[in-house]
Amino acid sequence: MADVAQRANVSLMTVSRAIRGVEGISEQKRVEILKIARQLKYVPNSAARSLAVANSNLIGISLPTFAGEVFADILNGMRRTFDSAGYSSVIDTTEYNPEAELDWVRRLLSWKPAAIILTGIDHHPEVRDALRSAPIPVLEIWDQADDPIDVCVGIDHRAAGRVIGQHARDCGYEKPSFVSAPRGHDVRADARLQGIRDVFEGVDVLTRRPELSDAFSTGFEGTRDLIFAAKPDVIFFLNDHMAFGGLMACQMAGASVPDDVGIVGFNGLDITGVLPIRLTTVRTPRRLMGITGARNLLARINGVTVQRSTILPIEFCPGETTRSK
């Protein structure tokens, strides 16, 4: 920067003003200085800037995993908004490990980020402490909370569970089961399971939690096990990919869908658009969630007060993998 200042015969401050685009400099000099900066291939030093102003244009985003469409969609929705606002995304995947999330939050805080985004509302207790005491906006996404750390945008998973549960009941299914992920791996799925239990009160909802591999195989194996062991008449899945795996397992086992066994997915993933049989599922507004979350967060960064907790609507999609009422 000193080089640029010298070549332009101005002070450091004037260069700084020119580059940041703030007031206090004539348009003429700004143009000239920017030209010289480009010629000299001047690269600003964000660390120095960050040190001087005590914040940065980094936004931290923590996800459980990159696998699956769900978080990709949410990320897409958010990133575009942040990017055009000039922020860079520092991304973490926790792999469902709260300690890992805590470590990452600590590391991130040392950068004085403009905001932090976490997935869900269940965190290591110290995460809450660390973030509450730091004066930065925090967004919790994908789940809903009455008392979020800061702001929250998501859907009501338990209610979603009740919707699909009720549908299954209305269709005459009586032996519900659920193919999920290992315990602790997806608390949102557990909330949906709880919603299903709410509806099937008194009935045991048999749950399979296969070892984690990919969603398709997990659904396939979980279903195969369930069918041979317990003969449920309807199977709920953690998501549509697992449901597709389940569908294939039924086909292999000679169980006819939806008569012998009903199949219910979740999320309304892309694959549902090309299946010869319409999957019963719930469409979740993942992209919108990302966009809404990003908007709310930007508003918070700029000091505008926003609704603390936003719950987005979901869309139930009855299909041909459950009996008609």
Partner DNA sequence: AGATCTAGCGTTAACGCTAACGTTATTTTT
Partner DNA sequence: AAAAATAACGTTAGCGTTAACGCTAGATCT
- Contact residues for DNA (CB under 7 A)? 1-2, 9-14, 16, 19-20, 22, 24-26, 28-29, 44-45, 48-49, 51-54
Here the tokens at position 299 are 């508003």
Q: Is 111 in the site for a copy of itself (CB under 8 A)?
A: yes
Comparison of 16 and 284: residue with beta carbon closer to DNA: 16
Instruction: Give me the least distance between CB of 209 and DNA, in Å please.
Output: 44
Q: Which does 203 bind (CB under 5 to 8 A by kind): DNA, a copy of itself, none?
A: none
- By CB under 8 A, tell whether 39 contacts a copy of itself: no
Give the Cβ contact number of residue 51 at 10 Å. Answer: 11
As a whole number of angstroms, the distance between CA 204 and CA 200 comes to: 8
Q: Are 263 and 321 in contact (CB under 8 A)?
A: yes
Tokens of 155: 């859907």
Residue 300 within binding range of a copy of itself, rule CB under 8 A: no
- Cβ proximity to a copy of itself: between 111 and 316 the closer is 111
DSSP 106-148: HHHHTT--SEEEEESS---HHHHHHHHHS-S-EEEEES--SS-
CA distance 176 to 172: 11
Residue 193: enclosing H or E segment and its boundaries? helix 187-199
**Binding-site member from 34, 40, 67, 212 for a copy of itself (CB under 8 A):** 67
> Among a copy of itself, DNA, none, what binds residue 237 when CB lies within 5 to 8 Å by partner kind?
none
| Residue 41 site contact among a copy of itself, DNA, none (CB < 5 to 8 Å, cut-off depends on kind) | a copy of itself
Are 305 and 264 in contact, with CB atoms under 8 Å apart?
A: no
Nearer to a copy of itself, 34 or 134 (CB): 134
Instruction: Pick one of 214, 230, 278, 313: the residue that binds a copy of itself (CB under 8 A).
Output: 214
Q: Shortest Cβ distance from residue 251 to DNA (Å)?
A: 60
Residues 6 or more apart whose Cβ sits within 8 Å of residue 163: 195, 282, 314, 316
Q: Which does 244 bind (CB under 5 to 8 A by kind): a copy of itself, DNA, none?
A: a copy of itself
User: Is 245 or 265 the residue whose CB approaches a copy of itself more closely?
Assistant: 245
